[in-house]
Amino acid sequence: MKLLVKAPAKINLSLDVLHKRTDGYHEVRMVMTTIDLADRLELSEHNRDEIKVISHNRFVPDDSRNLAYQAASLLKRRYDVKKGVIISITKSIPVAAGLAGGSSDAAATLRGLNKFWGLGLSLDTLAEIGAEIGSDVSFCVYGGTAVATGRGEKIQHIEAPPHCWVILAKPTIGVSTADVYRNLSLDSIKHPDVDGMIEAIRNKEFEDICSKVGNVLEDVTLQLYPEVAHIKEQMKKFGADAVLMSGSGPTVFGLVQRESRMQRVYNGLRGFCDQVYAVRILGERNSIE
């Protein structure tokens, strides 16, 4: 038996940090949405009671460091599953990019193995288990569009943003999320208008959404990697209506509504950046099935 599962990336339309917690994590409030750029996972039976990951990508570990491996291992232990699995991951989401690629692979593994092993768990239970693997995994279990709080694992679903194009450009550097949070200076944060973003999405007002994008981690990554600022400037120059870094970066995304504008921004960026994508927002909750 084989099962194919899709693992889509996310972007953060708004990302605020409220304070540092006693457990070392940061209390966040952010608006996240799923986009149509996805890894594909194939689950198949293993003839031994073991988890095996095949990653096809030299930047992605194929052992217990892989977040998909950790997801399978957690489920197996918690529900005393006496079966093995081979998880074959075909990556399309750039690695260490701020797009939750590894988290989404873990979430897809949880959803897929829930079916594959007939566990009958709810998405809420899978999201709780996901939180043990990483802060972004809970959101990735559900997909769609949500306000995430706590360290990112408390999910409140909201409506999808209006249809638009997302152009993504990733410079050839990978960013450590821990480093970015560590370098954040809490005293000098300019807080984005998260409530304004939620309201703009509810009203399906594309221009308002564009005026409300904001990410407090952006300044930190821009300081560490000036090439991210350059990509932002270029994306604005080519005509994106909103430009922001996703998560801890370094991927920059631009929003546009018209296809002709999307083509102009995409072609312009391709001139000097290797990893450029133009995708749709998949902000509806059932879009990951």
Ligand X SMILES: Nc1ncnc2c1ncn2[C@@H]1O[C@H](COP(=O)(O)OP(=O)(O)OP(=O)(O)O)[C@@H](O)[C@H]1O
Among 39, 105, 136, 241, the active-site one is: 136
* Candidate residues 14, 33, 70, 103; the one interacting with ligand CDM per rule CB under 6 A: 103
CB 264 to ligand CDM: min, Å = 29
* Residue 95 marked in a binding site: yes
Residues 144-183 that bind ligand X (CB under 6 A): 174, 177
Cβ proximity to ligand X, 7 vs 201, nearer residue: 7
The residue among 102 and 268 lying less far from ligand CDM, judged by its C-beta, is 102
Exactly one of 14, 26, 102, 116 binds ligand X (CB under 6 A); that residue is 102
Closest CA to 51 of 8, 121, 109: 109
From residue 239 to residue 258, what is the string marking binding to ligand X with x (rule CB under 6 A)?
--------xx----------
- Please spell the DSSP secondary structure of 213-255, one letter per residue: -EETTHHHHHHH-HHHHHHHHHHHHTT-SEEEE-TTSS-EEEE
Give yes or no for residue 86 binding ligand X (CB under 6 A): no
Residue 260 Cβ vs ligand CDM, minimum distance, rounded to whole Å: 31
Binders in 174-203 for ligand CDM, by CB under 6 A: 177-178, 181
**Regarding beta strands 214-215 and 2-20, do their DSSP bridges make them parallel or antiparallel, or are they unpaired?**
parallel
Binding span for ligand CDM by CB under 6 A among 21-29, 161-169, 193-201, 270-278: 21-29
Are the C-beta atoms of residues 216 and 187 closer than 8 Å to each other?
no
For the CB of residue 269, give the shortest distance to ligand X in the complex, in Å: 19
SS3 101: helix
Specify the pairing of strand 26-46 against strand 145-149: antiparallel
Which positions ≥6 away from 226 have C-beta within 8 Å? none
Binding residue count for ligand X, defined by CB under 6 A: 22
DSSP single-letter state for residue 122 = -
Beta-strand ranges (E) seen in the chain are: 2-20, 26-46, 51-54, 84-90, 145-149, 154-157, 165-170, 214-215, 242-245, 252-256, 275-280
Known catalytic residue: 136? yes
**Is 179 designated active site?**
no
260 is in an annotated binding site: no
Spatial distance between the Cα atoms of 259 and 208, rounded to a whole number of angstroms: 19
Q: Please tell me the count of residues contacting ligand CDM according to CB under 6 A.
A: 18
Amino acid type, 63: D
The piece of 122-130, 134-142, 204-212, 219-227 that touches ligand CDM (CB under 6 A) is 134-142
Chain positions contacting ligand X, by CB under 6 A: 60-61, 65-68, 89, 95-103, 105, 136, 174, 177, 247-248
Annotated binding site for ATP: which residue ranges? Answer: 94-104
Which residue numbers are catalytic? 10, 136
